Structure 1
């Protein structure tokens, strides 16, 4: 079991497949774990990539009792892990809230980050801003956090059923629910940080190649947010899947893996 000792002496779980100084680092979404990438990992390994996966603080097999479970703290763990593994070049792929983590980590890594992938990424914003009407509302976020507190297990069951727009079957929905439930209840602190999040200037200024995956039927991250990336960074391009929800790597895994590997062929 591979563990990264963080700056607060608690442990973050990670997996490291392959060898070499270049890797693809996969960052899961809120409340999930690195198991979210189980349809992606085999394809990357078959293509000869070194792959690193990390569990957020409070999620998966990482310690559950972190005092700080914020986006900046998780991004700091990613940067620390890149250093611990001696990676000279890394492509970061962040799903959902993991997209916000990946943007922050990419900014900190600078030239060591050779590419950035945002998979239905909650970046540059998640909650509407006065000059950016896409996304949810502050009231939506407050309601979500209140529902998590009032009846966490039932709320997470509904969440798992809504992740995918395509019919992926009850076993996958039940699996996602179980993974959500394994996260610490205190991981809601990470989710709450999406409300004030505004990475527009940061994301627009990144100089590495960027790929933004969009699900046109995504009910969690407004597709307009993901499209914004391609419209506001000259190094970015967008791949959109019609009728797909928040998890294209599950809903259309073959298409997703093909498009991800095409991007990686030039950048990893």
Structure 2
């Protein structure tokens, strides 16, 4: 199904899946994937008695591929359009990786009256980049290398990116995901808009959400793996838990960035317990 956001410079059709009944839970995917990355959570949320809505960010999956609008303010406006047009109330927002940015910016731009809870899973919140006051962040040189690789050989870069997503090594044993999972993710990411892939990367690499953490006033679940090689836990989960007062923080031992796949059972239990609490 699609909803159309006509409030921005370009008309954007946002593709979404809508399953189940009850309190709505919106799943916001990470970069550079689509709603399909939530495969192991959608069934668990619906089975637990909730309405589960998972959508494709503009430029990704089956949504429109506009030239602009990949900043977090516009992305949060897309999320608001989904909530408004579907007439959702008492919403739970769940953001994975880049999707954590939409969660926090939504609270900043649209308030929390209609949001009951939020969850940040392997999230980029509050800041990815290394700075003088954020020494544990990703060095700018590494971020520049990523952006350069996306501009020169996007599909080649994405082929190896998902190995780091799951801490995958080229060995016959010891990996937490199959080679088929890597191929599946690559196929999804490779078919995203090249423009969206690059501009969205700039958004998650450059946006500093530290001043906005105080806007997240509702109960917040934070889950992060201590072996995350994409978004280091010290620059993300640790700081988010410190900056969001009403938060419940779970460090997942041995968890890579893609713990929604590798540690799906542990994550699903944490998420459902949080929804039920």
Q: TM-score, normalised by structure 1?
A: 0.95
**Counterpart in 2 of 1:265?**
276
Say if 2:107 and 2:215, in contact at 8 Å, map to a contact too: no
SS of the residue corresponding to residue 110 of structure 1 reads coil
Alignment match, 2:142: 140
Is the CA contact 1:79–1:109 (under 8 Å) kept in the aligned structure 2? no
* TM-aligned CA deviation for residue 65 of structure 1: 2.7
Between the aligned partners of 1:6 and 1:125, the Cα distance in structure 2 is: 30
Residue 36 of structure 1 pairs with residue 34 of structure 2: no
Give yes or no for the alignment of 1:3 onto 2:13. Answer: no
Superposition RMSD in Å = 1.4
**Matched residue, 1:157:** 159
Aligned partner of 2:233 in structure 1 is 223
Measured after TM superposition, the shift of residue 170 of structure 1 is: 0.3
Matches within 5 A, 1:48-67: 48-67=49-68
1:73 aligns to what?
A: 74
Q: Output the CA distance in 2 between the equivalents of 1:70 and 1:189.
A: 8
Could you tell me how far 1:2 is from its partner in structure 2? 2.6
Matched, 1:184 2:193: yes
Q: Report the secondary structure of 1:115's partner residue.
A: strand
Contact 1:10-1:66 at 8 Å conserved across structures? no
**Residues of 2 paired with 1:88 and 1:110: CA distance?**
11
1:241 alignment partner in structure 2: 252
Secondary structure in structure 2 of the residue aligned to 1:64: coil
Give the number of aligned pairs.
Answer: 265
2 CA distance for matches of 1:114 and 1:53?
A: 17
**Distance across 2 between alignment mates of 1:177 and 1:170:** 11
TM-superposed CA distance for 1:254, in Å, is 0.7
Structure 2: distance between partners of 1:25 and 1:205? 19
Counterparts of 2:48 and 2:161 in 1: how far apart (Å)?
33
Bigger mean CA deviation after superposition, 202-211 or 78-87: 202-211
Is contact 2:4–2:11 with CA below 8 Å preserved after alignment?
A: no
Cα distance in 2 for residues equivalent to 1:17 and 1:195: 32
* Runs of 5+ unmatched residues, structure 1: none
CA distance, structure 2, for counterparts of residue 48 and residue 250 of structure 1: 21
SS in 2 for 1:39: helix
Deviates most, 176-185 or 3-12? 3-12
Distance 1:200 1:9 in 2: 31
Unpaired runs of 5+ residues, structure 2, are 168-174
Give 1:16 shift. 1.4
**Counterparts of 1:84 and 1:19, CA distance in 2:** 17
Alpha-carbon distance between aligned partners in 2 of 1:158 and 1:89, rounded to the nearest angstrom: 39
Normalising by structure 2, we get a TM-score of: 0.92
**Distance of 2:18 and 2:271 partners within structure 1:** 19
Equivalent residue of 2:177, what SS? coil
Asked if 1:213 corresponds to 2:223, the answer is: yes
Residue by residue over 1:106-148, the C-alpha shift from the partner in whole angstroms, topping out at 9 and shown as x without a partner, is: 3324121111111111111111222111221221111101001
SS at match of 1:144: helix
